[in-house]
Amino acid sequence: MEKAWYKEGVVYQIYPRSFFDSNNDGIGDLKGIVAKIPYLKELGVDIVWLSPVYKSPMEDNGYDISDYQDISKDFGTMDDMKDLIFKMHEAGIKLVMDLVINHTSKEHPWFIKSENKDGKYVDYYHWEPKKRNWSSFFGGEAWTFSEKRGEYYLHLFAKGQPDLNWDNENVRQDIKEMIKFWLDLGVDGFRCDVINIIAKNNNHPNGKFKLILKGSEHYFDNPNLHVYLKELYEDVFSKYDCFTVGETVFINPKTAADLVNPERKELNMVFQFDHMAADNHVVKWFIKKFKPFNLKKPLSKWQKELNGWNTLYLENHDQGRSISRFGNMDYYYQSATLLATIIYFQQGTPFIYQGQEIGMTNAHYTELSQYQDIETHNIYKLGRKFLFSHNSMMKRIKLMSRDNARTPMQWNDQIHAGFSRSRPWLEVNGNYKIVNVKNNQEQTKTILDYYKKIIKLRHDNEIIVYGDYEDIDYKNKRIYAYKRTYNKQELYVLCNFSPNVIRIKKYDFLNQKLILQNYSEITSEIMKPYEARVYLKK
């Protein structure tokens, strides 16, 4: 196994809009992130991934970019960005940006010129004189008519997010120049948005009948994907000390292995989504009761089957909070720390999403109007069109809306949770008086403290980073246990993923050194609800 800094580091994802508001306009900003660098240091993370801060009309909160080489006024200026890169580096933290290159905003000059059939921009996007039946990831149709051009354009996400035509060499050239611009400014890598769907069948035939994502057979697993990623790697990434992590939707370990195989020179790692379906039928709005085994099964599959480097995550800006989905509020501290133990002792690079480290929960909104997210509103409309009741749609939204992850970071028990002195762009979660950073810092035995311990353990023990993975008692529905092996060392994770007290086997590792636990009192062969332990045998 080749060693690398991005394998050994712990990544912290910041959703800038909701992290910290330095100028009190209700929106988090770059100066706000600078102000919280001491907090990131205290937590011990090595790398920060910033969700998009580029210029954007904000139809999809910045995932619709109108200028790749400028910063949105909501977040600050280019000088603020340079300052952030500098200060992060000064603090020993690397900075990774979001790279949204499947699509732009329809306000991007390339699209405006393409709509006008202007010179080299004519084919910068996907155009068709006749509408195709493809459907979008946000629900609804994926081809929309442009009055100006008199043709339909493809948008796999919102109407304001037209898909770029990657078969066009000029598009690829412009994108490469843009990536170089950021790397030259000192950025250390990129999280590449929906990167596995950039290559499409350019004849755009109608899609086969499907309930969701009609047309997806024309862009999933397109062989050109590998060609284009190689080109990016060879012409740009290989020239810098940086890493890439691709967001890859509907991916299996085999395709993922091709994407991250170091010899193929495409990406360094990918985010897969199998374990995010532990409480739904793959489409997140079709919810089902969560069962711990449905989390264990896919996680274990990726540990065993991916011939390559994994990413380890339970949350991001698109997912409901893990404690609300997979934990148990009656055992709040224990289940939050159990989840962290399960995921962050596996092999791969850990990603922590802002607020996860203090046990932030889903939003508890009651009205649809409290949600801001475009996907949430689209899905509500679509669901109602298909005759789902208001209550049924609200139940799904309460669990799955992306806004659950986007509520402002809860810094303290003061007004607006210390995020801003003005009314935030999205309502603060009502539990901020209890769940906040300050309480976590001042009290003993907190979730934050536990996260700090995990991060330190990863830094101090190579076995947690590089060790081989093996399940223990895989079929047990309540016990989640596994072993890591590295050189002559062994590490054991043992968790009771249930609200019951259970008697466990006399595992022979029970007499090894306990290096982490989420209960102060331990009875060797009895496990309390959501108890988590980590043993190290040297």
Kindly tell me which of 99 and 527 has the beta carbon lying closer to ligand NOJ: 99
* Cα–Cα distance for residue pair 177/247, rounded to 1 Å: 21
Q: Give the nearest distance from C-beta 516 to ligand NOJ in angstroms.
A: 31
Amino acid making up residue 309: W
Give the residue from 406, 322, 402 showing the smallest Cα distance to 18. 406
* Cα–Cα distance for residue pair 355/345, rounded to 1 Å: 20
515 in Cβ contact with 536 (< 8 Å): yes
With CB under 6 A as the contact rule, the residue among 12, 20, 63, 219 that binds ligand NOJ is: 63
Position 318 contacts ligand NOJ (CB under 6 A): yes
Give the DSSP H or E segment for 376: helix 374-385
The separation between the first and the last C-alpha atoms of the chain, rounded to the nearest angstrom, is 20
Position 315 contacts ligand NOJ (CB under 6 A): no
C-alpha count within 13 angstroms, C-beta hemisphere, residue 442: 9
- Which of 21, 60, 80, 193 is labelled catalytic? 193
424 in Cβ contact with 408 (< 8 Å): yes
With CB under 6 A as the contact rule, the residue among 54, 157, 182, 345 that binds ligand NOJ is: 157
- Which of 188, 247, 274, 315 is labelled catalytic? 247
247 in catalytic set: yes
* Cα–Cα distance for residue pair 123/536, rounded to 1 Å: 58
* Cα–Cα distance for residue pair 245/66, rounded to 1 Å: 23
Number of residues binding to ligand NOJ, judged by CB under 6 A: 9
Kindly tell me which of 363 and 448 has the beta carbon lying closer to ligand NOJ: 363
Longest Cα–Cα distance of the chain, Å, equals 74
With CB under 6 A as the contact rule, the residue among 97, 100, 267, 340 that binds ligand NOJ is: 100
With CB under 6 A as the contact rule, the residue among 48, 194, 242, 363 that binds ligand NOJ is: 194
Q: Give the nearest distance from C-beta 99 to ligand NOJ in angstroms.
A: 11
With CB under 6 A as the contact rule, the residue among 46, 80, 193, 266 that binds ligand NOJ is: 193
| Positions in 241-280 near ligand NOJ (CB under 6 A) | 247
Kindly tell me which of 171 and 516 has the beta carbon lying closer to ligand NOJ: 171
Percentage helix, strand, coil for the chain under 3-state DSSP, each rounded to 5: 35, 20, 45
Kindly tell me which of 124 and 482 has the beta carbon lying closer to ligand NOJ: 124
Give the residue from 168, 181, 6, 9 showing the smallest Cα distance to 81. 181
Q: Quick one: angle between helices 447-460 and 332-344, nearest 10?
A: 20
Position 60 contacts ligand NOJ (CB under 6 A): yes
Q: Give the nearest distance from C-beta 318 to ligand NOJ in angstroms.
A: 5
Kindly tell me which of 49 and 432 has the beta carbon lying closer to ligand NOJ: 49
**CB nearest ligand NOJ: which residue?**
63
Position 492 contacts ligand NOJ (CB under 6 A): no
* Cα–Cα distance for residue pair 413/491, rounded to 1 Å: 39
Q: Give the nearest distance from C-beta 75 to ligand NOJ in angstroms.
A: 16
Amino acid making up residue 234: E
Site string for ligand NOJ, 349-388 (x = CB under 6 A): ----------------------------------------
Give the residue from 496, 480, 489, 476 showing the smallest Cα distance to 515. 489
Kindly tell me which of 157 and 451 has the beta carbon lying closer to ligand NOJ: 157
Q: Give the nearest distance from C-beta 170 to ligand NOJ in angstroms.
A: 22
342 in Cβ contact with 471 (< 8 Å): no
Position 195 contacts ligand NOJ (CB under 6 A): no
Kindly tell me which of 115 and 193 has the beta carbon lying closer to ligand NOJ: 193
DSSP calls for 191-247: EETTGGGS---TT-PPPPP-SSSTTGGGTTT-THHHHHHHHHHHHTGGGSS-EEEEE
Kindly tell me which of 161 and 362 has the beta carbon lying closer to ligand NOJ: 161
Q: Give the nearest distance from C-beta 416 to ligand NOJ in angstroms.
A: 24
Residue 433 CA: distances (Å) to CA of 35, 416, 421: 22, 10, 16
Give the residue from 232, 236, 243 showing the smallest Cα distance to 190. 243
Residues forming contacts to ligand NOJ in the complex (CB under 6 A) are 60, 63, 100, 157, 193-194, 247, 317-318
Active site residues: 193, 247
